[in-house]
A = this chain, B = another copy of it.
Amino acid sequence: MTRKLTDRIIGMMEDVRSRKPLVHHITNYVTVNDCANIVLAIGASPIMADDIDEVETITSISSALVINIGTLNRRTIESMVAAGKKANELGIPVVLDPVGAGASSLRNQTTQRILDQVKITVLRGNMSEIRFTAGLEADTKGVEVSEADQNIGADEGSKVAQDVARKFGCVVAITGPTDIITDGDRTIYIENGTKHMSNITGTGCMCSSLVGAFCGVLDGKSDGPLVAAAGGVLVTGLSGEIAYEATKHLGYGSFRTGIIDTVSKLDADTLIEKARIYGS
């Protein structure tokens, strides 16, 4: 199974590189540069645009939309909803990263509102954020996963992910020590990555952006979004792991640079050799 999944992901990655899908981002100003560079590194084309007067047009010419609420505000929330609705209308996949859901009413209500008004293709977050969307008591500390939520086992975590996936009819990707990706039916587990990725900002956001790039080349197969989500998560974890080994003697500044380096050099052989991906 693993090899079959890896092959599907490699195929999509090659499609990203040959088709260079445009990925519209409405995202935060903290990690936006990393998101743009990681999307370019995998071979896609990013466009960041958040004004209500143009988001629908920009979504219309794009192959995927990534909504990231990291530094949401009244102005951009309206743009997120408008772009999301336009994407739905045109059948363009939408990735939602509910950064910090659980940390403030504004983030909670916005996450809820987007999930209510926009059909999401892939919802990606940490365990605290996804638990919040499940209606569970999420023990959030800012934009990072809480320690309690981090230590939830793969079994309980899978159940949360599957419940949310069924509730919203979307693929759910929870990234953590073991990444869990599910459409409510099939569930994929990925064990690449390193805990040091939480010591630089943007690894979660970059993961969502990579999922967006993979979603930009969906081929109509019913499990396309599941494989696309797994692809984005796998590339992130694998690149984080490789980059950490290459830069750990230097420090976290170089680690950040190394992740973009690694994504830009990633090839099929490395994926086949190093992917620790399991599932039905």
Residues of A within 8 A of B (CB): 22, 28-34, 36-37, 40-41, 45-51, 53-54, 57-58, 61-62, 70-75, 100, 103-107, 141-144, 199-202, 250-254, 256-265
Contact = CB atoms under 8 A, between A and B. Distances in A.
Given A47-B103, A57-B106, A62-B142, 19 more contacts: A29-B29, A30-B33, A33-B33, A37-B200, A37-B253, A41-B253, A47-B143, A48-B70, A51-B71, A53-B104, A54-B106, A54-B107, A57-B105, A58-B103, A58-B104, A61-B142, A252-B264, A253-B256, A253-B259
A194 to B, nearest CB: 14
A73 B50 contact: yes
A30 B73 CA distance: 17
Contacts of A75: 73
Given A141-B61, A251-B262, A104 B49 contact: yes
A107 B100 CA distance: 30
Contacts of A71: 48-51
Q: Which 5 A-B pairs have the closest CB atoms?
A: A251-B261, A253-B260, A253-B257, A54-B106, A36-B201
Contacts of A260: 251-253, 256
- Copies of this subunit: 3
A13 to B, nearest CB: 15
Given A261-B251, A264-B199, A100 B47 contact: yes
Contacts of A263: 251
Contacts of A141: 22, 45, 61
B201 A41 contact: no
A144 B23 CA distance: 12
22 contacts: A22-B141, A22-B142, A30-B48, A37-B201, A40-B201, A40-B252, A41-B199, A41-B253, A45-B141, A48-B70, A49-B104, A50-B71, A51-B73, A53-B104, A62-B142, A199-B264, A252-B261, A253-B256, A253-B257, A253-B264, A256-B257, A256-B260
B36 A30 contact: yes
A156 to B, nearest CB: 24
